[in-house]
């Protein structure tokens, strides 16, 4: 019992020593007067220190979670934040690409309208949607003179208006091959079509429904397929390594009709020579097909 009593007395004395207040003051060295003081116990000092540490931890956690302040520290940014930033950049690029595609479609449609002798339209894309407001663009005097000159130039003539409208209504076509344009249509140099560069043995597809009227081979152009479409329109596919449909066979649009041949023995690219004709006149494929 004596031992237990001494133990409790020691604990009580220790607790009293830790809770008893100490006077902490600041004294003016010139006159010895007290300028400031505070009464603290060792236990209250420990509690204050713990409280200060907890508050600092909460502030640091809030700054890390809700502000980009720590992104300024070298090496702090995580892979998640980098991936999120990359995703935002890709979305911005995708939005810009969508705008460019829409502008390209509008440009090609207006070119077709000019060739047909019609007045082009101005389209304003709102909120990146396909709903567009159209307003008529009044042709200027310079535009009328240029159109009259082009209509009288045999190089740009596509036949009469009925023929042009027939071609426009017929062409709802797809690209014959996935790839890049190597050479563009230029009737002045004798290139009555275009050359498309793609992967080795790339698939060649019919641009629209039609009937195969020729499936021949020649040393100059290799295997070639000629397809007759509606209203006198003809598509020609040259420089093929192999062909699938036979002469007289009916094919559908976007159906594989052959494979493009390599540009040379050592080349890793294939070349397709594609031509589009209407009533014996060569057409620029880019005017009617988006490549």
Q: In sequence order, what DSSP letters do the residues of 160-180 get, joined into one string?
A: SHHHHHHHHHH-----SSSSE
- Which is it for the CA torsion 154, 155, 156, 162, positive or negative? positive
pLDDT of 240 strictly over 90: yes
pLDDT band of 129, cuts 50, 70, 90: very low
State the pLDDT at residue 188.
86
- Which is it for the CA torsion 274, 159, 144, 168, positive or negative? negative
How far is it, in rounded angstroms, from Cα 140 to Cα 155?
Answer: 23
pLDDT band of 125, cuts 50, 70, 90: very low
Which CATH number fits the domain 173-287, given the four candidates 2.70.70.10, 2.130.10.10, 3.40.50.620, 2.60.40.10? 2.70.70.10
Q: What are phi and psi of 56, to 5 degrees?
A: -60, -40
Higher-scoring residue by pLDDT: 193, 131 = 193
State the pLDDT at residue 53.
94
State the pLDDT at residue 35.
80
pLDDT of 231 strictly over 80: no
**Percent of the chain topping pLDDT 90:** 22
pLDDT of 13 strictly over 90: no
Cβ distance 171 to 180 under 8 Å?
A: no
pLDDT band of 80, cuts 50, 70, 90: low
**Percent of the chain topping pLDDT 70:** 75
- Could you tell me where in the chain the CATH 2.70.70.10 domains are found? 173-287
DSSP 10: H
How far is it, in rounded angstroms, from Cα 283 to Cα 158?
Answer: 8
- Provide the CB-side half-sphere exposure for 183 (13 A, CA): 14
Tell me the mean pLDDT in the region 136-156. Answer: 63
pLDDT of 160 strictly over 50: no
pLDDT band of 46, cuts 50, 70, 90: confident
């Amino acid at each position: 019992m004596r031992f237990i009593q001494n133990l409790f007395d020691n604990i009580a004395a220790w607790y009293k020593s830790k809770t008893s207040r100490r006077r902490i003051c600041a004294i003016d060295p010139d006159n010895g007067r007290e300028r400031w003081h505070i009464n603290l116990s060792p236990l209250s000092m420990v509690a204050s220190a713990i409280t200060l540490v907890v508050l600092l931890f909460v502030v640091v956690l809030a700054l890390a979670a809700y502000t980009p302040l720590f992104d300024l520290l070298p090496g702090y940014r995580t892979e998640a934040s980098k991936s999120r930033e990359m995703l935002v950049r890709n979305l911005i690029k995708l939005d810009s690409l969508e705008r460019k595609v829409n502008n390209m479609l509008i440009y090609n449609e207006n070119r077709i309208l000019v060739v047909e002798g019609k007045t082009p339209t101005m389209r304003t894309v709102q909120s990146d949607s396909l709903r567009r407001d159209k307003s008529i663009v009044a042709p200027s005097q310079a535009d009328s003179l240029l159109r009259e000159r082009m209509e009288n130039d045999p190089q740009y003539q596509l036949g009469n208006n009925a023929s042009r409208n027939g071609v426009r209504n017929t062409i709802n076509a797809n690209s014959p091959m996935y790839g890049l344009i190597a050479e563009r249509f230029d009737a002045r140099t004798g290139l009555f079509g275009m050359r498309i560069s793609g992967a080795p043995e790339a698939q060649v597809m019919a641009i629209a429904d039609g009937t195969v009227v020729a499936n021949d081979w020649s040393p100059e152009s290799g295997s070639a397929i000629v397809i007759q479409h509606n209203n006198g329109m003809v598509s020609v596919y040259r420089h093929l390594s192999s062909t699938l449909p036979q002469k007289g066979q009916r094919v559908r649009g976007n159906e594989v009709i052959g494979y493009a041949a390599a540009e040379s023995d050592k080349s890793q690219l294939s070349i397709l020579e594609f031509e589009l004709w209407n009533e014996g006149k060569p057409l620029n494929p880019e005017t009617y097909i988006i490549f």
